[in-house]
Protein backbone atom coordinates (compact mmCIF):
# COMPACT_ATOMS: atom_id res chain seq x y z
CA UNK A 1 0.00 0.00 0.00
CA UNK A 2 1.31 3.42 -0.98
CA UNK A 3 2.03 5.72 1.96
CA UNK A 4 2.78 9.40 2.23
CA UNK A 5 3.87 10.96 5.52
CA UNK A 6 4.31 14.70 5.94
CA UNK A 7 6.19 16.38 8.75
CA UNK A 8 5.88 18.41 10.78
CA UNK A 9 2.09 18.50 11.13
CA UNK A 10 2.28 22.19 11.96
CA UNK A 11 5.04 24.77 11.69
CA UNK A 12 5.14 28.30 12.97
CA UNK A 13 7.76 30.66 11.52
CA UNK A 14 8.67 34.27 11.94
CA UNK A 15 8.54 36.30 8.76
CA UNK A 16 11.88 35.85 6.99
CA UNK A 17 12.77 32.63 8.85
CA UNK A 18 13.52 30.01 6.19
CA UNK A 19 12.61 26.36 6.75
CA UNK A 20 11.70 23.09 5.03
CA UNK A 21 8.68 20.82 4.98
CA UNK A 22 9.17 17.10 4.52
CA UNK A 23 7.21 14.52 2.55
CA UNK A 24 8.41 10.94 2.85
CA UNK A 25 6.84 8.27 0.69
CA UNK A 26 6.72 4.51 0.34
CA UNK A 27 5.47 3.46 -3.08
CA UNK A 28 6.20 0.88 -5.71
CA UNK A 29 7.22 2.72 -8.82
CA UNK A 30 6.89 6.47 -8.39
CA UNK A 31 5.55 8.18 -11.50
CA UNK A 32 5.16 11.64 -10.05
CA UNK A 33 5.14 13.62 -6.80
CA UNK A 34 2.91 16.67 -6.42
CA UNK A 35 2.90 19.62 -4.06
CA UNK A 36 -0.26 21.63 -3.45
CA UNK A 37 -1.11 24.64 -1.31
CA UNK A 38 -4.49 24.79 0.43
CA UNK A 39 -5.91 27.93 2.01
CA UNK A 40 -8.72 27.68 4.59
CA UNK A 41 -12.10 27.17 2.94
CA UNK A 42 -10.57 26.59 -0.50
CA UNK A 43 -9.54 23.71 -2.68
CA UNK A 44 -5.88 22.71 -3.04
CA UNK A 45 -3.91 24.75 -5.57
CA UNK A 46 -1.28 23.00 -7.67
CA UNK A 47 2.35 24.06 -7.13
CA UNK A 48 4.78 21.50 -8.60
CA UNK A 49 5.19 18.07 -10.11
CA UNK A 50 8.49 16.24 -9.64
CA UNK A 51 9.27 13.09 -11.55
CA UNK A 52 12.68 11.71 -10.61
CA UNK A 53 15.31 11.85 -7.89
CA UNK A 54 17.52 14.90 -8.14
CA UNK A 55 14.88 17.06 -9.76
CA UNK A 56 14.22 20.55 -8.38
CA UNK A 57 11.54 23.16 -9.16
CA UNK A 58 11.11 26.70 -7.94
CA UNK A 59 8.29 29.19 -7.70
CA UNK A 60 8.85 32.52 -5.96
CA UNK A 61 9.94 31.68 -2.38
CA UNK A 62 9.26 27.96 -2.77
CA UNK A 63 11.67 25.28 -3.96
CA UNK A 64 10.77 21.60 -4.17
CA UNK A 65 13.34 18.82 -4.31
CA UNK A 66 13.03 15.07 -4.69
CA UNK A 67 15.10 12.08 -3.57
CA UNK A 68 14.30 8.38 -3.85
CA UNK A 69 12.52 8.38 -0.47
CA UNK A 70 11.34 11.91 0.20
CA UNK A 71 10.65 15.38 -1.06
CA UNK A 72 11.34 18.71 0.60
CA UNK A 73 9.53 21.98 0.14
CA UNK A 74 11.96 24.74 1.07
CA UNK A 75 10.50 28.11 1.94
CA UNK A 76 12.98 30.97 1.74
CA UNK A 77 12.29 34.17 3.68
CA UNK A 78 8.58 33.42 4.08
CA UNK A 79 5.92 36.11 4.26
CA UNK A 80 2.57 35.98 6.10
CA UNK A 81 0.80 35.32 2.80
CA UNK A 82 2.66 31.99 2.60
CA UNK A 83 0.56 30.76 5.54
CA UNK A 84 -1.44 27.75 4.33
CA UNK A 85 -1.55 23.98 4.50
CA UNK A 86 0.89 22.33 2.10
CA UNK A 87 -0.11 18.94 0.73
CA UNK A 88 2.13 16.32 -0.85
CA UNK A 89 0.79 13.55 -3.11
CA UNK A 90 2.28 10.72 -5.14
CA UNK A 91 1.12 8.67 -8.08
CA UNK A 92 2.27 5.27 -9.23
CA UNK A 93 0.40 5.48 -12.49
CA UNK A 94 -2.45 7.74 -13.40
CA UNK A 95 -4.56 10.20 -11.49
CA UNK A 96 -6.73 7.36 -10.23
CA UNK A 97 -3.74 6.15 -8.19
CA UNK A 98 -2.87 9.33 -6.33
CA UNK A 99 -2.19 9.10 -2.58
CA UNK A 100 -2.26 12.31 -0.56
CA UNK A 101 -0.52 13.14 2.68
CA UNK A 102 -2.36 14.85 5.52
CA UNK A 103 -0.44 18.07 5.05
CA UNK A 104 1.71 20.54 6.98
CA UNK A 105 -0.03 23.62 8.31
CA UNK A 106 2.33 26.57 8.01
CA UNK A 107 1.82 29.80 9.88
CA UNK A 108 4.11 32.76 9.18
CA UNK A 109 3.99 35.47 11.80
CA UNK A 110 4.79 39.10 10.93
CA UNK B 1 -15.36 32.86 -12.99
CA UNK B 2 -13.63 29.92 -11.33
CA UNK B 3 -12.31 27.12 -13.53
CA UNK B 4 -14.12 24.53 -11.36
CA UNK B 5 -17.38 25.55 -9.68
CA UNK B 6 -19.05 23.52 -6.97
CA UNK B 7 -22.56 24.00 -5.59
CA UNK B 8 -23.67 24.29 -2.89
CA UNK B 9 -20.75 25.65 -0.83
CA UNK B 10 -22.33 24.54 2.42
CA UNK B 11 -25.14 22.11 3.16
CA UNK B 12 -26.69 20.67 6.27
CA UNK B 13 -28.93 17.67 5.73
CA UNK B 14 -30.65 15.04 7.84
CA UNK B 15 -29.78 11.38 8.10
CA UNK B 16 -31.53 9.35 5.39
CA UNK B 17 -32.00 12.23 2.96
CA UNK B 18 -30.79 12.12 -0.62
CA UNK B 19 -28.44 14.93 -1.57
CA UNK B 20 -26.66 15.92 -4.77
CA UNK B 21 -23.47 17.94 -5.04
CA UNK B 22 -22.80 19.54 -8.39
CA UNK B 23 -19.62 20.40 -10.24
CA UNK B 24 -19.00 22.22 -13.48
CA UNK B 25 -15.71 23.13 -15.17
CA UNK B 26 -14.51 25.45 -17.89
CA UNK B 27 -11.03 23.90 -18.30
CA UNK B 28 -12.16 21.74 -21.23
CA UNK B 29 -10.73 18.66 -19.52
CA UNK B 30 -12.22 15.22 -20.13
CA UNK B 31 -11.13 13.92 -16.72
CA UNK B 32 -13.11 14.74 -13.58
CA UNK B 33 -12.91 13.48 -10.00
CA UNK B 34 -14.71 13.60 -6.66
CA UNK B 35 -12.69 13.61 -3.44
CA UNK B 36 -13.57 13.91 0.22
CA UNK B 37 -11.32 15.46 2.85
CA UNK B 38 -11.50 14.56 6.51
CA UNK B 39 -9.29 15.89 9.31
CA UNK B 40 -6.35 13.58 9.86
CA UNK B 41 -7.14 11.45 6.81
CA UNK B 42 -6.19 13.52 3.81
CA UNK B 43 -7.95 13.54 0.49
CA UNK B 44 -9.54 10.27 -0.66
CA UNK B 45 -10.91 9.49 -4.11
CA UNK B 46 -14.63 8.65 -4.33
CA UNK B 47 -15.27 8.40 -8.08
CA UNK B 48 -13.56 9.43 -11.28
CA UNK B 49 -14.53 9.81 -14.92
CA UNK B 50 -12.14 9.95 -17.86
CA UNK B 51 -14.87 10.90 -20.33
CA UNK B 52 -18.66 11.17 -20.50
CA UNK B 53 -19.14 7.43 -20.99
CA UNK B 54 -16.46 6.33 -18.51
CA UNK B 55 -17.26 6.20 -14.77
CA UNK B 56 -15.08 4.42 -12.23
CA UNK B 57 -15.18 3.78 -8.49
CA UNK B 58 -12.42 5.15 -6.35
CA UNK B 59 -11.12 4.13 -2.96
CA UNK B 60 -14.29 4.95 -0.99
CA UNK B 61 -17.33 4.73 -3.30
CA UNK B 62 -19.74 2.91 -0.97
CA UNK B 63 -22.79 5.06 -0.23
CA UNK B 64 -22.12 7.39 -3.19
CA UNK B 65 -23.11 7.52 -6.84
CA UNK B 66 -22.18 9.89 -9.67
CA UNK B 67 -23.52 11.15 -12.96
CA UNK B 68 -21.51 12.67 -15.80
CA UNK B 69 -24.08 14.79 -17.63
CA UNK B 70 -21.63 16.38 -20.08
CA UNK B 71 -17.92 16.93 -20.49
CA UNK B 72 -18.19 19.91 -18.18
CA UNK B 73 -20.56 18.52 -15.53
CA UNK B 74 -20.04 15.81 -12.91
CA UNK B 75 -22.38 15.39 -9.97
CA UNK B 76 -22.06 13.35 -6.78
CA UNK B 77 -25.08 11.90 -4.96
CA UNK B 78 -25.49 10.53 -1.49
CA UNK B 79 -28.49 8.25 -1.79
CA UNK B 80 -29.21 8.07 1.92
CA UNK B 81 -26.93 10.36 3.89
CA UNK B 82 -25.39 9.19 7.15
CA UNK B 83 -23.44 11.19 9.76
CA UNK B 84 -20.04 9.71 8.86
CA UNK B 85 -20.42 11.27 5.42
CA UNK B 86 -19.95 14.64 7.06
CA UNK B 87 -16.86 16.00 5.31
CA UNK B 88 -15.44 18.52 2.87
CA UNK B 89 -16.07 17.39 -0.72
CA UNK B 90 -13.95 18.51 -3.66
CA UNK B 91 -14.43 18.16 -7.37
CA UNK B 92 -11.30 18.25 -9.53
CA UNK B 93 -10.30 18.07 -13.17
CA UNK B 94 -7.07 17.18 -14.94
CA UNK B 95 -5.66 16.73 -18.37
CA UNK B 96 -3.88 13.50 -19.28
CA UNK B 97 -0.40 14.51 -18.13
CA UNK B 98 1.01 15.33 -14.72
CA UNK B 99 2.48 18.71 -15.62
CA UNK B 100 -0.33 20.81 -14.16
CA UNK B 101 -1.78 18.42 -11.59
CA UNK B 102 -5.38 18.65 -10.56
CA UNK B 103 -7.50 21.81 -10.69
CA UNK B 104 -9.78 21.70 -7.65
CA UNK B 105 -13.02 23.48 -6.94
CA UNK B 106 -13.55 25.42 -3.73
CA UNK B 107 -15.37 22.54 -2.08
CA UNK B 108 -18.71 21.74 -0.49
CA UNK B 109 -18.86 21.49 3.29
CA UNK B 110 -21.51 18.84 4.01
CA UNK B 111 -22.90 18.17 7.47
CA UNK B 112 -25.23 15.23 8.05
CA UNK B 113 -27.18 15.46 11.30
Q: Is A103 on the interface with B (CB under 8 A)?
A: yes
| Higher pLDDT among residues B9 and A97, named by residue | B9
pLDDT tier for residue B19 given thresholds of 50, 70 and 90:
very high
Of B31, B99, B104, the CB nearest to A95: B31
Q: Taking 80 as the threshold, does the pLDDT of residue A95 lie above it? A: no
- Nearest CA among B68, B99, B83, B69 for reference residue B13: B83
Distance CA B33, CA B74 (A): 8
Distance CA B13, CA A110 (A): 40
Of A32, A42, A102, the CB nearest to B40: A102
Q: Taking 80 as the threshold, does the pLDDT of residue A10 lie above it? A: yes
pLDDT score for B23: 98
Instruction: Summarize the confidence of residues A62-89 as an average pLDDT.
Output: 97
Taking CB atoms and an 8 Å cutoff, what residues of chain B touch A34?
Answer: 98, 101-102
| Interface mutation vs chain B, best among A32, A34, A44, A48, most B CBs within 10 Å | A44
pLDDT score for A36: 98
- Nearest CA among A16, A6, A21 for reference residue A106: A21
pLDDT tier for residue A35 given thresholds of 50, 70 and 90:
very high
pLDDT tier for residue B2 given thresholds of 50, 70 and 90:
confident
Instruction: Summarize the confidence of residues B32-44 as an average pLDDT.
Output: 94
pLDDT score for A93: 84
Question: What is the share, in percent, of chain A residues with pLDDT greater than 70?
Answer: 100
Q: Chain-centre distance of CA B50, in angstroms?
A: 14
Amino acid sequence: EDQVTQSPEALRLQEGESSSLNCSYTVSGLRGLFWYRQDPGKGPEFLFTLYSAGEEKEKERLKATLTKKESFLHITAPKPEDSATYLCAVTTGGYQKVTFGIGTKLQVIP
Amino acid sequence: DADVTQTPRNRITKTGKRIMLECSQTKGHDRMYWYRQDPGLGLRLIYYSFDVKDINKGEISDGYSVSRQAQAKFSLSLESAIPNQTALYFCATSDTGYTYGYTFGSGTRLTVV
